Amino acid sequence: MAKQDRAIRTRQSILLAAAGVFEERGYQAATISEILAAAGVTKGALYFHFQSKEHLAQGVLAQQDLEMALPRNCKVQQVVDMGMLHAYRLQSDPMVRAAVRLSLDQQAQELDRRGPFMRWSDSIRECLQTAQTQGELLPHVVPHESAEVMVGAFAGVQAMSQTVCDYQDLQHRISSLLRHLLPSIVVPSVLAAVDLGENRGEKVFNEMRGLRQQEEELVPAVS
């Protein structure tokens, strides 16, 4: 394995360990020693990648917005895909789940948790702005405001799903949220053509995985 690949894998395994510790213990109570023990790496390796508990937490937080969705001609569909894919990942990927829970960890007072809210809002706002220039949105819509409502509402609906049934109905709840929000944002003819199905997130996830595999086959192995 090339040296760079190894470094990336070490970094990822530290983040996964940190995610688990933050999820179990909360940011406040978690210690670097616990993360070290869970990651099974040397202190030197950990500090090479992350200088502090806060750096570890920011690394985990950032794991929820690495690949938000695939670009689509219909920008409303792209926004829907972002939400449904995120819901699918929340159900299936422990790292994403830990990252989202850390964003809502109210006891983590020294940790700046605004990043994920702002990055998601910015990405959705940009998408809605393009949607607006393409005539997909109702005339009164303010993309910034609708983006903030969507991000906030998503955060709460996932928290409620986690609280009442440990995420079992998450795809259904997020699809339902979008069905409630979009009619006040999107023109009816566009809305009618958008896929809001509960399995949309899984579809997009598989599509992205397929594309990544194709890419990897095209790039010859370096070492």
Binding site for a copy of itself (CB under 8 A): 25-26, 28-29, 101, 103-107, 113-114, 117-118, 145-146, 148-149, 151-164, 173, 176-177, 179-185
CB of 204 to a copy of itself, least distance (A): 22
Residue with tokens 């895909």: 81
CB of 113 to a copy of itself, least distance (A): 5
CB of 14 to a copy of itself, least distance (A): 22
Question: In terms of CB distance, is 48 or 117 closer to a copy of itself?
Answer: 117
Question: In terms of CB distance, is 88 or 154 closer to a copy of itself?
Answer: 154
Q: What tokens appear for 45 in the block?
A: 């390796």
Q: For residue 186, what are the β-bridge partners?
A: 137
CB of 76 to a copy of itself, least distance (A): 14
Residue 221 per-residue DSSP state? P
Q: How many Cβ atoms are within 10 Å of 118's Cβ, its own excluded?
A: 12
Q: What tokens appear for 70 in the block?
A: 């695939």
CB of 191 to a copy of itself, least distance (A): 10
Question: In terms of CB distance, is 37 or 160 closer to a copy of itself?
Answer: 160
CB of 103 to a copy of itself, least distance (A): 8
Q: CA–CA separation, 41 vs 43, rounded Å? A: 7
Question: In terms of CB distance, is 70 or 191 closer to a copy of itself?
Answer: 191
Question: In terms of CB distance, is 165 or 193 closer to a copy of itself?
Answer: 165
Torsion sign over Cα 125, 127, 130, 131: negative
Q: For residue 137, what are the β-bridge partners?
A: 186
| 155 closest CA partner among 185, 177, 183, 129 | 177
CA distances in angstroms from 167 to 18, 89, 97, 178, 211, listed in the order given: 22, 11, 10, 17, 28
Question: In terms of CB distance, is 46 or 200 closer to a copy of itself?
Answer: 200
Q: What tokens appear for 204 in the block?
A: 């997009």
